[in-house]
Amino acid sequence: MTVDKSLGIAIVGLGEYATTQLIPALKETKDCHLAALVSGTRSKLDRYKKEYGIDDEHLYTYDNFDDIATDAAVDIVYIVLPNSMHAEYCIRAARAGKHVICEKPMAMNPDECREIMQVIDQTGVRFSMGYRLHFDPYNKEMMRLGQKQVYGPVRKITLLDSKDLGEKRTWRVDRALAGGGPMMNYGVYCIQAAIYLTGKLPTAVEAKYSPVTDHERFDEVEEGLKFKLYFEGDLTAECECSYTKVQNMMSVKAEKGWFQLEPAFEYEGIKGITMDDEMDFGSVNQQALQMDDFARCIKENKPTRVPAEMGLRDNVIIKAVYDAADKNAKVPIRLEEFKELSVS
């Protein structure tokens, strides 16, 4: 494969994130481009094929998805489906010989993650998590400040990521499709940040479900959840995610100073400050940077900074958080196999 080739991406699932963020971002990418669309809704395929100039031969439904194996225009398949469908379509894409990007969480549980990884190994395709914030300059600066101990060792982290879903009932509050509530969504950002801010892995967690204020909407999944990650020494990360609050903040207290982002996890408009100065990295398209990076990793045969092992690691932590909340107790997190993934 030549390094100057632009790789074709098939977007699987044409929901809000795919159509308002990923597909528009592919207009700005340099190393990859939109090549195919996959949806169970014919009207969506018709709408977006016209808008983005995709020929019918590169349109797929979930029933004929496996035919993508013979589509030479597609190099990468990006899974943007409800959580319950991640494992199936990651595996089908890999068996079709296509490289895979998967949105968070990687799967419904660690066992499904391991199934995906087994097929990835068998087929030899490349895999990346859709962890866009690893390519955001503000979050990368927070990684540098924390991991390089610019203000001394990090002592305490506060991570808040919540959005009010509103009155409309979505698949995100359907346990069969989502696997859980905000922990399976915004909680992943908190887990990610706690690790990439420090370069360390948590050893234990305490968690507590938030009181339910809307029993009709949240009859299957948690409305909110607070959890505290413990690391070696006295370092902790206090986290909260909710579907009825509005919060978006990353705050770090170190031995000799502090630094924070607010908002921290958004697609744009992130703002950062340290005890000394404001951060100013301008505006970037996180999704374009993320997809271009993976395309270059494939073309140059380099490892991605957000591999399948990271998706599995985060799924193991998610399970521990739920266990701690269910037991109302502090539970250990066994992450020895992931030590090499802690430093970005």
245 part of the active site: no
Q: How far apart are the first and last CA of the chain?
A: 27
The Cα 108–Cα 111 span in angstroms is 8
Name residue 135's amino acid: F
189 part of the active site: yes
The Cα 340–Cα 57 span in angstroms is 42
Q: Which residue is catalytic, options 44, 104, 200, 228? A: 104
Q: Which residue is catalytic, options 78, 138, 189, 322? A: 189
Closest CA to 196 of 305, 91, 58, 63: 305
149 — alpha (psi -120 to 50), left (phi > 0) or beta?
left
Peptide bond into 303 cis (omega under 30): no
Query: Which residue(s) pair with 150 in the sheet?
Result: 152
Closest CA to 147 of 183, 109, 194: 194
User: What residue ranges in the chain does DSSP mark as E strands?
Assistant: 7-12, 32-38, 59-60, 76-79, 99-102, 127-129, 154-162, 204-209, 224-230, 236-242, 247-254, 257-261, 272-274, 331-332
DSSP letter at 109 equals: S
The Cα 23–Cα 51 span in angstroms is 11
DSSP letter at 152 equals: B
Closest CA to 265 of 209, 315, 191: 191
**Tokens of residue 65, six digits:** 């998805």
Edge-to-edge strand list for the sheet holding 127-129: 59-60, 32-38, 7-12, 76-79, 99-102, 127-129
Active site residues: 104, 189
